[in-house]
Amino acid sequence: MSRAEIVVVTGGLGFIGKHFVRQCLDKGHFVKNIDRISYAADRLVNAEFSQSSNYRFHEANICTLDFLPECDIFVNFAAESHVDNAITNARKFCETNFLGVQNCLELIRRKHEHERPRFIQISTDEVYGDIRDGSHAEADPLVPSNPYAATKAAADMLVKSWGRTFGVSWNIVRPTNNYGTHQYPEKLIPKSAWRMKRGLPAIMHGDGSYIRSWLHADDTVRGISTVIEKGRRNQIYNIGSTEERSNIQVLRRIAQILSIEERAAFVAASDRSGQDIRYSLDDSKLRALGWSQMKKFDEEIIEIVEKLDTSRFV
């Protein structure tokens, strides 16, 4: 987005979405944020954004949205994303992650072809399933392991089919595991740090050997912008990370930052159903456009843990 654009963002009060909205406003773009304000929404950041004359907010659910405002780019972050919740209640994930995307695509399709925005679907590395060795490339088959991943994979298929059948212009972006400031405390880092700070042990699934590639949200939104500005239309782009850590390594690092003995820092629980062993993405396609990972996990996690603020979600 080299010139000033009108950008519609869905789920812009969510974790990655709010980082993207802030980036767009900093670049001088006009942002229309559509968010249903779920339990995980950051209400304080909405007040911050509202101070900008380039920001508009509309409370709505993408499943029932019936009007698409004038825009150049449509970026869909809106999603149910917590795997534990998907195992408990998959229907909500099917509604938002699949039918919500279908509704957004239909709103774009109904526009005159010269008025249609480019649709950017924010997907996930989990659509590929796990991989013991090597990394997944964009052309690899989708083998989701849990209901959340399945609904995201299904949405990706919708996007590609609306492109081929109706001529909707699109990109699918698949980032790996995100971390950063002001993340809702149901994810591993904020939840574990919050519990440890309160004198409670963090909960570790299984033996903690499951490996994730950790990508800072700031690097993610730079990657998304790189796709929008330089990527080829109707293409998929992975956003990976060189920062691999097992869950137990992350918990030990949090305990170390908080000066808590390991034996008191966390307790093991049973494995989660559909647990993936390891995720890893080949993002050479995105790196060829000039993007690179800038944030270092071992540096960033210190500030995240020390300055953890969960009050904005209470």
Catalytic hit among 5, 42, 80, 126 = 126
Catalytic hit among 125, 218, 219, 300 = 125
Catalytic hit among 55, 148, 179, 210 = 148
**Would residue 306 show up in a list of annotated catalytic residues for this protein?**
no
Long-range contact pairs involving 153-158 (C-beta distance under 8 Å, separation at least 24): 153/123, 153/127, 154/97, 154/98, 155/97, 155/98, 155/101, 155/121, 155/123, 156/121, 156/123, 156/127, 156/236, 158/98, 158/101, 158/102, 158/105
**Would residue 126 show up in a list of annotated catalytic residues for this protein?**
yes
**Would residue 125 show up in a list of annotated catalytic residues for this protein?**
yes
Ranges of H-type helices in the chain: 15-26, 43-49, 83-88, 90-93, 100-109, 147-166, 188-197, 217-230, 247-257, 262-265, 284-287, 297-306
Residue of 198, 222, 209 whose CA lies nearest to 22: 222
- Residue 140 Ramachandran class (φ > 0 left, ψ -120 to 50 alpha, else beta): beta
Positions annotated as catalytic residues are 125-126, 148
